[in-house]
Amino acid sequence: MTFYLSAFIITELLMLAMTFHVLHYSGFNKNQKEWFIATFLVIMFNSAAEYAVHCGYYDKIFAIPLTILTVIQFSLSPVLAMLFTGALGLNYQGRIAIIFFGVNLLIETIAAPFGWVFSFTETGYERGSLFLVLYGLSYVLSLGYLVVSLFFVGRKFRHRDAITIIAIMVVLVAGIIPMSIFKINVAYLAIAIGSSICYIYYNDLVQEDMKAELVAHQKKMSAMQENIISGLANLIESRDIETGEHVARTSLYVKLIAENAKKDGVYSNVIDDHFISLLFTLAPMHDVGKIVVSDKILKKPGKLTPAEYEEMKKHASEGGNVVRKILSNITDEEYLDFASNLATCHHERWDGSGYPKGLKGEEIPLEARIMSIADVFDALISKRCYKEAIPIDEAIEIIKQESGTHFDSKLVDIFLKYQDQFVEVSKKDLNEG
């Protein structure tokens, strides 16, 4: 009897724990929770009924209530598979469960007075001659129904974990063997364990699909962000110069600087693949502040007056604010900070003489220091409404001379070491294809 008590306690506690988990799990809707809880409560009821019959405190005066209890128990057993598959999301399980329960209740009710399945005698519970045929058959049918349903669920979720399904079969079949050979019924313990594995299996499928949906959503959001950034940057650049090639080239330049710096171990504590990805993606936002500058100043063919120059400088001081207004609802804080740093600080100078904040040295965000070199180099070699382009060699020499004053010398060293790559990009027609 100690065995039955142990099996009963383990089953009840396991199902109670599963019930609490379902109640507090946010991944299931109300209907799914009801199915799962119904499944676990029926297992708990059947396990309690099993213990009541085999607890060792039998008296003949309890024969009738125990008979009624056992009839309900045997009638509910095959319904467990339908309850659980209903929780797994398969349709029409409620109707099928009612049919299974009704048929079994009818059979058990008819068989009970004759003792065909079971009876309670002077000494206690006895199996009938048709026990293995009727009850065993319903158990096997329930097991088979559950296993087949798991395959359908796996197909529904585009996953099929054969090892898990085999493990469930082994556990559930293990409940039949001792019942058939040794007349020790551990079926409900096996069902409880099997149901727990099924639940975990289903929960894993849900999580896997949620993860896939999240990844797809993130890709969609990233693509949307990049399209917004690229479109806006090109729109702004088209007010200043004839094409958006400045945006495309500077994005490639900053990527080259960052990749080569990473390769050479420069600022290795900051520059990693994620940093490079952000830098390349957000570089087009560096001049987004030009949206607040009038066309009269942007397109002026000659030198700006001091007042006009101060107006032009607003594109840096206002750049971060513009970034946050545009991107605040479609991205996270890291993204916003990175883009804001590029837009606000790409005109800061290493010696502190830049604008808008007069930051000095490593006070300037690394992404902005990289952007500064790319922006100035491309501006030097490009024709603008207010100047002619200068030869690439001269532009490289200017970058070299301003190392340690305008630019971070470590980054200038990277630029000079790999200058051939920058020259190659500068000669490309980025509008091709």
If you ran DSSP here, which 8-state letter would residue 180 be given?
Answer: I
pLDDT band at 242 (very low <50, low <70, confident <90, very high): very low
Tokens 């294809």, located at residue: 433
Which amino acid type is present at position 297? I
Q: Is the pLDDT confidence value at 271 over 80?
A: yes
If you ran DSSP here, which 8-state letter would residue 382 be given?
Answer: S
Calculate ∠ Cα 127-129-130, nearest 5°: 95
Domain boundaries, the chain: 2-212, 241-426
Highest mean pLDDT among 74-78, 88-92, 180-184, 331-335: 74-78
Tokens of 25: 């799990």
pLDDT of residue 401: 96
pLDDT of residue 100: 86
Between 396 and 208, where is the model more confident?
396
Are 315 and 293 spatial neighbours (Cβ–Cβ below 8 Å)? yes
**pTM, to two decimals:** 0.54
Calculate ∠ Cα 8-14-16, nearest 5°: 100
Ramachandran region, residue 326 (left: φ > 0; alpha: ψ -120 to 50; beta: rest)? alpha
Model confidence pLDDT, tens digit, residues 341-363: 999 999 999 999 999 999 999 99
pLDDT band at 321 (very low <50, low <70, confident <90, very high): confident
Lowest mean pLDDT among 49-53, 202-206, 288-292, 299-303: 202-206
Model confidence pLDDT, tens digit, residues 16-60: 888 888 888 776 778 888 888 888 898 889 888 888 887 878 888
pLDDT band at 403 (very low <50, low <70, confident <90, very high): very high
pLDDT of residue 367: 96
Between 298 and 346, where is the model more confident?
346
Q: What is the mean pLDDT of residues 279-296?
A: 86
Q: Is the pLDDT confidence value at 106 over 90?
A: yes
Architecture in CATH of 241-426: Orthogonal Bundle (1.10)
C-alpha distances out from residue 204 to 23, 37, 40, 197, Å: 17, 18, 19, 10
Which amino acid type is present at position 366? L
Tokens 């007056």, located at residue: 305
Between 398 and 50, where is the model more confident?
398
Q: Helix %, strand %, coil % for the chain, to 5?
A: 75, 0, 25
Q: What is the mean pLDDT of residues 411-415?
A: 96
Which amino acid type is present at position 393? D
Q: Is the pLDDT confidence value at 107 over 60?
A: yes
Distance CA 132, CA 56 (A): 23
Highest mean pLDDT among 36-45, 106-115, 359-368, 376-385: 359-368
Selection from 310, 330, 306 nearest residue 318 by Cα: 310
Query: Residues with Cβ < 8 Å from 122, sequence gap 6 or more?
Result: 60
Distance CA 128, CA 117 (A): 4
- Helix spans in 174-186 (H): 176-177
Q: Is the pLDDT confidence value at 61 over 50?
A: yes
Lowest mean pLDDT among 69-73, 161-165, 416-420: 161-165
pLDDT of residue 264: 95
As a three-state string, the secondary structure of 144-197 is HHHHHHHHHHHHHCCCCCHHHHHHHHHHHHCCHHHHHHHCCCCHHHHHHHHHHH
If you ran DSSP here, which 8-state letter would residue 203 be given?
Answer: H
Are 386 and 303 spatial neighbours (Cβ–Cβ below 8 Å)? yes
Tokens 């502190």, located at residue: 352
Distance CA 40, CA 196 (A): 9
What mean pLDDT, rounded, does the chain reach?
81
pLDDT band at 217 (very low <50, low <70, confident <90, very high): low
pLDDT of residue 417: 96
Between 61 and 360, where is the model more confident?
360
Which residues pair with residue 120 across a beta bridge? Answer: 125
pLDDT of residue 411: 97
C-alpha distances out from residue 366 to 42, 324, 359, 375, 398, Å: 63, 20, 12, 14, 21
Calculate ∠ Cα 342-316-240, nearest 5°: 95
Is CATH 1.10.340.30 what the domain over 2-212 is classified as, yes or no? Answer: no
Q: Is the pLDDT confidence value at 112 over 60?
A: yes
Total residues found in the chain within this entry: 433
pLDDT of residue 57: 81
pLDDT of residue 18: 81
Identify the three-state secondary structure at position 25.
coil
pLDDT band at 207 (very low <50, low <70, confident <90, very high): low
Lowest mean pLDDT among 58-67, 158-167, 359-368: 158-167
If you ran DSSP here, which 8-state letter would residue 305 be given?
Answer: P
pLDDT of residue 1: 58
